Every structure is written in structure tokens, then in C-alpha cells.
Amino acid sequence: MLHPHLLRKKFSQAFATNADEARIFFSPGRVCLIGEHVDYNGGMVLPAALSLGIYGVFRQTDSHVLRMKSCQQKNEVTLRLDEEISFSEKTGWGNYPAGVLKYLKQKGFQPRGGELLFDSNLPMGAGLSSSAAIEMLTALIFSSNNDNKRLGKLELARLCKTAENEFVGVRCGIMDQCAIAMGEKNHALLLDCSTLKHELVPAALGDNCIIIFNTGIKRELTKGFFNQRVSECEEALKSIRKHKPLKHLADADEQDVKELVANPIAKKRALHVVQENQRVKLAAEALKTGDINQFGLLLFQSHASLKRQYEVTGAELDTIEEAAQNHPACIGAKMSGAGFGGCAFALVKKDAAEDFVRYVLNFYFEKTHCEASYCYAEIDDGVRRIA
């Protein structure tokens, strides 16, 4: 956790102004424990908010101008909040908060200008949902800053999903935003993405810890592969609907997919979705009963499906997972996020964690000739004001 005093100091340096009246907010990243690529197919997912995330230091002014800076980015983003907000390639990272502000205005909010500094200990573009974190952070700051309107966290999650779908152009589901909005310390969020019914599941990891490995390979979801997977799933659902009136692909069963989907690529994608949907339910039960070994086995199975059927892992993530599975202290491991780079995480016995990290980093370097980084993370509370 970054200290508020340090954040205020950075704010003062960035904007050459006093930070005494600035408010500080925190938005966590998330790890999808299991359920990758099921959310936009209407199924069940099991994410959790992390102790790593993005901080926002905001000082309100009477101006309609919002100046945004990030400690991790070079360019300053300036928005006029009394004018129409539009997407621009030149805005870069600023399009994520800009999209949220556009849709807050459409909801009747009147966001006020000021200075906003973002700082982060969350790897950007690494599969821990930095995009949803900055969206939810912006939504909380500027909805809290309104005298007349209030939205609940689930409503804010919906708004942020709309902003990413329609403003940024990524056809994501709502898992990331919900996990960041409603996460609680030491709990996973069992979420039905078709109804948004949700349940907090105790995630008592006992003598185990979560270690996140960053491959160092960044990917941009708008480059095409993510939307391609969405289209492939839509093709599978269209084939099944010729015979069965299903609302979502996750409502199908394996027999439906094997018998009714002719396209071999679409069939593989759909098989991952329906099998992963079942794994999520089994994983939630394993956590509820404290069967951590069964939970870990399901993590390994999930990664194998993402590798062979959904084909979104890539050599780097597979190498991390292979190394983890080789080590006796590892309970389970898998990629996290959309794939093709980013992060994987492992559930590891605490007393062997240091040896495990050394082994994985060495294994990864020998196989890829690249260096991975790592960090320990805890399951923490969702987006909130901290000072």
C-alpha cells in the first residue's frame, strides 16, 4: 500500500499545487481465480480483488477543466467537462477515464474539474485488469463528487463496462468491474454474469499464498485477438440456437457443442466455455469446504483448457505454468487475464515460497531468455476512498 503522504507529495510535484485538500482513492486490480473468458459468454466466474492497484489523488476546482497525469505515463491528458467527450488515439491511456466521464454525464452527473494524479503498483497491460481498475477509480471519484446523484457499486460497474465496450472498443464482459467494485478481503466473488447475482465465497488459503508472475509481455486487447474470440463464441452460439433456444453460450452443455457446432475452431472455443463454467462451480465448492488441493487441481485444468481449446496462453505464460506445476510446493497455477502475455499466478505453500520463486524465475529465463518479475498479493477489499 502506497502511503498517503507519499501520494500527496507526488501530487504536489506533478501539479505544482498544494495537496492538503486532495482526496485519495484506491482501486484494486483483480485476479480471475478461475473462469477466464466465460464472463462475456454469460457464465459463472470466480475473481477476487487484490492488494495491488491504482491510486487516485484528486483536488477539485471550480473550473470545467480536468487535468490528468499518471506516474506511469508521460503524457498529460486534459478534458473540458462542459464539452462533448470523444475518443481519440492521441489521448492514449486517458481514454479509459474519459469514457467513464462521458457516460457519467449521460447519467445526469455533472463532474467538476480539477487535478487528478494516478499512481500504481499494478503492472499495466499484464492481465490484472488495470483498465477496469482505472475505470472504477474514476467512476467512484466523480460519482462521490456529485451533490445530487448517487449510484451503487454494481451500477458503477455496469457503467464502466459500457464505457470500455462502446468508448474504448473492447468487447469485454463485466467480471473485472464487478470484482473491483464488490470485492472483500479474504473472499472471492462468485458471479453469474448473465444475471449479476453474486455471492462472496470465503477464500481461506491457510498456509498458502498467492504469487503473481509477470511475463513482461504486454498485449493490447484492442489489437484484435480478444474481439476475435468473442466472435468465435458468437458463431458457436448461433449454431446451437438453430436447434435449442439458449440465451448464452455458457447455458449449453458439452453434448450441445459436440453435436451442433460444425466449425472446429468455434467448437473448441465453446468447449472451453462450457467446461470452464462447470469448473467455476466446483472451485467455489472447494473453497467453501476448505479443499484447497481440489481447488488447485482445477486451476491447472483451467490453464490447460485455455492453452489447448481457447488458445490464448502463448509460450511465456505456458512456461510459467509449467515451472509452477513442476515444483512440489505449488498447489495450483494458471494464467490470469485475457492471455497472450501478461501474468500468471500460483497458489504456493508459504514455507517454500522463496525456493519456489527462484525455481520459476530460473526456469523461465532458461526457456525464454527473458526475465520475469514477481510479487506477492493478498485478496483485499474493492474500490474505496482511503484518505
Known catalytic residues?
176
Buried b (16+ CB within 10 A) or exposed e, 258-268: eebbeeeebbb
Angle between helices 264-289 and 292-308 (to 10 degrees): 170
DSSP 163: I
DSSP 305: H
Residue holding cell 467455489? 284
Residue holding cell 498447489? 331
260's CB contacts (< 8 A; 6+ apart) are 239, 240, 242, 243, 244
**CB 320, CB 219: distance < 8 Å:** no
Q: How many CB atoms lie within 10 A of CB 380?
A: 21
Partnered with residue 49 across adjacent β-strands are 30
CA distance linking residue 361 with residue 213, whole number of Å: 9
Please state the separation of Cα 95 from the chain's center in Å: 17
**CB 283, CB 33: distance < 8 Å:** yes
Strands in the chain per DSSP E: 23-34, 44-60, 65-70, 77-80, 114-120, 187-192, 198-202, 208-214, 330-336, 343-349, 373-377, 384-385
Partnered with residue 211 across adjacent β-strands are 346, 376
Reduce the DSSP state of residue 332 to 3 states and report it. strand
Residue holding cell 468473442? 230
Partnered with residue 47 across adjacent β-strands are 32
161, amino acid identity: K
Taken in order 347, 350, 179, 312, is the CA torsion positive or negative? Answer: negative
